Amino acid sequence: MKIVHVISTLNIGGAENFVMQLANQQSYENSVVIVITGITDGNKNYIDKIDKKVTIYQLNWKQKYSLQQFFQLNSLLGKIEPTCVYVHLHNPLYYIYGVSLIKRKIKYVHTIHSSFDNWKGILKYLNKLRFLNNRILHVCVAKSIHEKLTHHFPKLRSTLINNGIRSYNPYRDLTQVKSFWNSFSIKPQIGKRFLAIGNINRHKNYKILAQSFAKIYDSHPDAMCLHIGNEMDTVLSDELKEINAPNLFLAGVKDNAADFLSEADALVVSSVQEGMPIVVLEALSMGVPIIATPAGGLVDVIVDGFNGFLIQDFKELSLRLAIKKFIALTLEEKQEMGINAKAYFEENYDINKVSKIYKNKSA
């Protein structure tokens, strides 16, 4: 089988991480090509992690829409002659939709990596045009996303395939990880070490994270939360600093941030909008429980009380109570929750199983 993945960049990101891992897995049994339409950051990307068996084309497009770019992609796919084209992210989908009108023998699979709301507008147009072209199979990475899609656009071709990754193996050794955790003013106590990973923006809703830990400090001064991520929204970053939670530490950007999960007792996700976050799967694969809001695919991956705690709203009080509930667990109960997390990952989100499902669905 000859497979082509089309994506705008391979910069650091959830969809890009998934493409890297799925392409690597597929390359064991198939001929795999990745076409990167846009410009990838030369310093921070996944290109070096792509298996040598995978062929990479970098088109370095600078325009968002261009007939010349469309003909270039159409010509390239004509030379490759793929059995199946997997398309990821918004901009490449527009081009592949056009290609699918011309190259009708190819199977097309579009993966929706983020929330349904991010795709609703585009899917609305594709639904109107389905009598002209309904050949693209839309893959939802979480049950809740698929339910919304089928509710709004039942006649579009769609299916559910869980997001997936390989079990995460830290790049740093344990000594380095422990040293980093111990470099802050509060020394992390076993069972009270929390980690949040993600860029600071409105979707991540870190304000309630800061407010929660500011109040938790009164009853649990030995508990701490470490945040790793880019301060993209400087206004929001300033708001977090004004809250001045003494047990929340903004550590900035770190390569391979999931390494620090190896010394965390739980991952905290406070988002108001998500697809199926890769970092959540990384945590589960390492046996780290999740405490999260009910954003996007989080409601499908977290079984409340089994592999973490899932709150029912996006309020600070609910998040704070869930964190305190986790702190109140015995060490044995926390360890059991971690064992459940790893087992749940292996059953549902291992990239080897996910790759086989993709193959069956696109056959």
Kindly give the residue spans of alpha helices, DSSP state H, lying in the chain: 14-26, 67-80, 90-102, 116-128, 143-152, 174-181, 206-219, 234-243, 278-285, 298-301, 316-328, 331-348, 351-361
Instruction: Please report where in the chains the tokens 């559910």 appear, as a residue.
Output: 160
CA distance readout (Å), 106 to 59, 103, 136, 139, 208 = 21, 6, 10, 17, 47
Measured torsion, CA atoms of residues 71, 74, 79, 84, in degrees rounded to the nearest 10: 170
Which CATH architecture group holds 174-348? 3-Layer(aba) Sandwich (3.40)
pLDDT of 263 strictly over 80: yes
pLDDT of residue 333: 97
pLDDT of residue 58: 96
pLDDT of residue 74: 98
Q: What mean pLDDT, rounded, does the chain reach?
A: 95
> 221: how many CB neighbours lie within 10 A of its CB?
13
Percent residues over pLDDT 70 in the chain = 100
pLDDT of 46 strictly over 80: yes
Strands of the 248-250 sheet, one edge to the other: 248-250, 224-228, 193-197, 266-269, 290-292, 308-310
In sign, the C-alpha dihedral spanning 183, 186, 192, 194 is negative
Predicted TM-score (pTM) of the model is 0.88
pLDDT of 178 strictly over 90: yes
Over residues 202-217, mean pLDDT? 95
Over residues 1-16, mean pLDDT? 93
User: Cα separation of 103 and 176, whole Å?
Assistant: 52
Tens digits of residue pLDDT in 322-347: 999 999 999 999 999 999 999 999 99
Strands of the 136-140 sheet, one edge to the other: 55-58, 31-36, 2-7, 84-88, 107-112, 136-140, 158-160
Over residues 36-45, mean pLDDT? 88
The CATH class of 2-166+350-361 is alpha beta
Domains 2-166+350-361 and 174-348 share a fold: yes
Split at pLDDT 50, 70, 90, the class of 276 is confident
Residues 6+ apart with CB under 8 A from 328: none
Over residues 158-169, mean pLDDT? 94
The phi, psi pair for 179, rounded to 5°, reads -60, -40
The ranges assigned to domains in the chain are: 2-166+350-361, 174-348
pLDDT of residue 231: 83
User: Cα separation of 33 and 271, whole Å?
Assistant: 34
Which of 68-77, 225-234, 246-255, 288-297 is predicted least confidently?
Answer: 225-234
pLDDT of residue 361: 86
pLDDT of residue 13: 84
Q: Find out whether 188 and 248 touch, Cβ atoms under 8 Å.
A: no
- Residues written for the chain: 363
pLDDT of residue 302: 96
pLDDT of residue 188: 78
Tens digits of residue pLDDT in 285-325: 999 999 999 998 899 999 999 999 999 999 999 999 999 99
Distance of alpha carbon 181 from the chain centroid: 24
pLDDT of 172 strictly over 80: yes
Q: What is the residue type of 211?
A: Q
Distance of alpha carbon 273 from the chain centroid: 12
Over residues 2-17, mean pLDDT? 93
Residue 11's SS3 state is strand
